[in-house]
Amino acid sequence: MSNVALKHSSVNKIANRQVISDALLEIGKNDKEIIVLTSDSRGSASMVKFGEELPQQIIEVGIAEQNIVGIASGLAHSGKKPFIASPACFLSMRSIEQIKVDVAYSNTNVKLIGISGGVSYGALGMSHHSLQDLAVTRAIPGLDVMMPADRHEAKKMIEALIDYDRPVYVRIGRNPVQDSYTSSDYHFEIGKSVTMKEGNDLTIFAIGETVRVALDSADALQQKGINCRVINMHTIKPLDEEAIIRAAQETGRIITMEEHSIYGGLGSAVVEVVSQHQPAPVKILGIPDEPAIAGKTAEVFEHYGLSVKNVTEIAIHMVNN
């Protein structure tokens, strides 16, 4: 393990949305240009306290995701720093044209925080899952795309975004995630992946909540004598291509993990780089092309093989063949 990664899973009760809200409140007290926009999502974005303490800096637009993005772009155009906190499933789909045109194409400094992302809304079904958002947002020129691994990274990321004058989409989950980092005391850089664990037998690229699973898998593999590199790709765009090429060169084998469709997300991004620069076998783990099964995040991960057991088996097979 590198010095930043937390070796063993531990229980964490603070959700990333809370961390983001707290950070925005803290910074927003001194930076009046920070404006939070919600689409009847104040509660689910943990923005109630922010709204109470900074009522002049929160805008409620009602259940209107196209409107929230358009309004945010107008605010940004006038020098504000708008942060939209709206469910990822709607924000990344219902308002994708506003994201494409009003935000990315017009180059307005809007931060799109997709909350309750992935399969967070487990039993609510495909309408409420956001498993295509990376694919869609990644294809839009001028838009950066990120997903923090845990609460520590969520804090680092949001702090880095305050004065980052570019459109960005960030997806976070609804529930507390087990920590992947020991603390927020590490160097975070947009577009620069973090090597959570060194190793030369194979590399696992993970993003978001799967980073923890990747670390636990690497731990299990270590006990079987396999040295697995774990890289946290918190920024999927701009992509840290160098880290991917190096991993392909040095470890030869790659596994990718993401709470996203196997089409168009991290796995696709890694394959796009590897296939053109340093061909290597890649196993893509994610949600298959079907409406995701109902269940809690851990259950859904388990079902689709985003689990220590499955990753370990695949890794052993890859290393032995």
- Cite the active site residues: 65
- Size of the residue set binding another protein (CB under 8 A): 29
In whole angstroms, the minimum distance from the beta carbon of 114 to another protein comes to 19
Distance between CA atoms of 249 and 299, rounded to whole angstroms?
34
Cβ atoms of 112 and 170 within 8 Å: the answer is: yes
Residue range at the interface with another protein (CB under 8 A); choices 93-101, 145-153, 171-179, 207-215: 93-101
Structure tokens at 291: 């409406």
Peptide bond into 82 cis (omega under 30): no
Residue type, 162: I
Tell me how many degrees the CA angle 182-169-31 measures, rounded to the nearest 5: 75
Q: Determine, following the binding rule CB under 8 A, whether residue 170 of this chain makes contact with another protein.
A: no
Cβ atoms of 205 and 233 within 8 Å: the answer is: yes
In whole angstroms, the minimum distance from the beta carbon of 45 to another protein comes to 18
Distance between CA atoms of 33 and 41, rounded to whole angstroms?
21
DSSP letter assigned to residue 268: H
Pick between residue 72 and residue 274 the one whose CB is nearest to another protein.
72
Distance between CA atoms of 93 and 75, rounded to whole angstroms?
21
Residue type, 231: I
Neighbouring CB atoms inside 10 A of 89's CB total 25
Pick between residue 67 and residue 278 the one whose CB is nearest to another protein.
67
Q: Determine, following the binding rule CB under 8 A, whether residue 40 of this chain makes contact with another protein.
A: no
Q: Determine, following the binding rule CB under 8 A, whether residue 79 of this chain makes contact with another protein.
A: yes
Distance between CA atoms of 247 and 204, rounded to whole angstroms?
9
Please pick, from the candidates 64, 93, 126, 220, the single residue that binds another protein as defined by CB under 8 A: 64
Please pick, from the candidates 29, 31, 49, 78, the single residue that binds another protein as defined by CB under 8 A: 78
Instruction: Decide: helix, strand or coil at residue 81.
Output: strand
In whole angstroms, the minimum distance from the beta carbon of 140 to another protein comes to 13
Q: What is the separation, in whole angstroms, between the first and last Cα of the chain?
A: 25
In whole angstroms, the minimum distance from the beta carbon of 106 to another protein comes to 4
Pick between residue 71 and residue 243 the one whose CB is nearest to another protein.
71
Residue range at the interface with another protein (CB under 8 A); choices 53-61, 153-161, 171-179, 193-201: 53-61
Q: Determine, following the binding rule CB under 8 A, whether residue 14 of this chain makes contact with another protein.
A: no
Please pick, from the candidates 54, 71, 136, 194, the single residue that binds another protein as defined by CB under 8 A: 71
Neighbouring CB atoms inside 10 A of 67's CB total 15
Structure tokens at 179: 């920590």
Cβ atoms of 36 and 50 within 8 Å: the answer is: yes
Structure tokens at 89: 């499933």
- According to DSSP, the residues that pair with 85 across neighbouring strands are 38, 113
Distance between CA atoms of 149 and 266, rounded to whole angstroms?
14
Between residue 211 and residue 270, which ones bind another protein under the rule CB under 8 A? none
Q: Determine, following the binding rule CB under 8 A, whether residue 67 of this chain makes contact with another protein.
A: yes
Pick between residue 97 and residue 189 the one whose CB is nearest to another protein.
97
Please pick, from the candidates 17, 80, 138, 212, the single residue that binds another protein as defined by CB under 8 A: 80
Pick between residue 74 and residue 295 the one whose CB is nearest to another protein.
74
Residue range at the interface with another protein (CB under 8 A); choices 4-12, 54-62, 165-173, 285-293: 54-62
Please pick, from the candidates 22, 102, 216, 258, the single residue that binds another protein as defined by CB under 8 A: 102
Please pick, from the candidates 15, 34, 54, 72, the single residue that binds another protein as defined by CB under 8 A: 72
Match 């949001």 to its residue by tokens: 158
List residues binding another protein (CB under 8 A): 35, 56, 59, 61-62, 64, 66-67, 69-80, 82, 97-98, 101-102, 105-108
